[in-house]
Chain A
Amino acid sequence: MPPLLLIDHHNGVPAYRQIMDQVRLQIATGMLPPGTEMLSTRALSAELALNPMTISKAYGLLEHDGVLERRRGQTLVVRETHGEEAHVGRIEPLRNQLIAAASLARQLSVSRPEALRLFKEILNDETK
């Protein structure tokens, strides 16, 4: 089952960026475990109705960043990561969301203790 990627063509975010973000997120959540074979550029381009150039740019950058690696010739797979690197990869999507939340907190003049209390409260709510 190939990863389900959804591209919004009209939000102004380059499609290659959307692919990269979604692949990273799926790896972080375990949807794409290490060793998973990615669809070929051609197949993904057909599936998403996107220019093959866009797919190869996203794949190329993910490979460059060490998220994917090439195996047995051309197949791209999810690279296995360990320790600190794996941890950073996993929390990165959350970190990005929190950067936006922190900016909003400053804009609303919400104090630090209040913002932290709110985040803890939400975390606790979710686990109930």
Chain B
Amino acid sequence: MNAVTDISAAPTVAPFAARGITKRYGNQVALQDVTLEIPAGRIVGLIGRNGAGKTTLLNIVSGIVLPSSGTARTFGVPTDRLDTPQLSRLGVVQQEGGTISWMTVRQHLDFNASFYPTWDRKLEQRLLGELELDQKRKIIQLSTGDRQKVGLLLGVCHRPALLVLDEPMSALDPIVRARALDLLLERLRDDGCTVLVSSHILNDVEKIVDWVICLDKGEVVADSAFDELQESYAEWILSSPAGTLPTAYPEPFVLSQQGDSRQARLRVCTNEYNAAEKFASAFGAQVQKRPLNLEEMFPLLTNCRRDAR
């Protein structure tokens, strides 16, 4: 199954790798012993509830904050020693701010372009059109959505090798959001750019990501290829007209359950072949199964530590 030739030959250095990083703000723990690697040439979705530590992790990737302990490496370099060779290949789109509000869009683009020899004017022009941005307007006069568009342009026009985006599309309308998603895919196709994007808009995330990292209360609760998540999580509807179903399902792969002795709806996580059929026949029941989308998976992912047996 996994013996598939990969189009992007794996580079030796991961764009980002963390070993046992913890980040504390005072006595508040934002990240707790996080170890992970962002695989190159992928679009990684970073998901989790408010306060899960997503922004902290993204800020550590880009070197904006340093971990309290553990090691974080971006392009193989410890993040407290990032310098021009790394920073010039990094694109950062912050949730808010990060722009100089008195400048016009035009001025700001020129200002940022002056730092990057690789700034792509053609790409910039095209994106101004596609994202419907008026370059003559001052940043301070822009709506939240238009400011997010400026953030996207500032993050991608130097054609980075690693693009880190924190909730980049929350205020964009559906049309522009679709174009922004296309933009991320295009960066991957054209430049092999690795993309790490946090978002609560899971319907968007699942259109483009091929890897999912889920944080909960500062800890990594999922770090997996999206395909594998989709093939593990499912809903099973068990039905038994004779009323032979048990009152509870203690099996660890059953993550949530509701129903009675005649019908039950289970949300499960298992990779076993034909698990549903075997499970149902043990109770003399019929089963209908269907996969879960990311939005349906999300509560199961973020609850799994509390349910862990």
Contacts and interface: CB of A to CB of B under 8 A. Distances in A.
B293 A107 contact: no
Given A46-B189, A56-B7, A61-B4, A51 B230 contact: no
A52 B230 CA distance: 18
Contacts of A12: 230, 233-234, 290-293, 296
Contacts of B188: 51-52
Contacts of A103: 286, 288
Contacts, number: 78
Contacts of A52: 7-8, 188-189
Given A49-B185, A53-B210, A14 B296 contact: no
A51 B197 CA distance: 14
B210 A60 contact: no
Interface residues of B, number: 37
Contacts of A11: 291, 293
A61 B292 CA distance: 23
A13 B232 CA distance: 11
Interface string A1-45: 000000001111110110000000000000000000000011001
B210 A54 contact: yes
Give the interface SS of chain B, mostly helix, strand, loop or mixed. Answer: mixed
Given A10-B203, A13-B230, A13-B291, A56 B189 contact: no
A56 B182 contact: no
A14 B226 contact: yes
Interface string B212-245: 0000000000000011001101100001000000
B4 A60 contact: yes
Nearest to B297: A12
Nearest to A109: B241
Given A12-B233, A51-B185, 8 more contacts: A12-B291, A12-B292, A13-B291, A16-B227, A49-B185, A50-B185, A56-B6, A107-B288
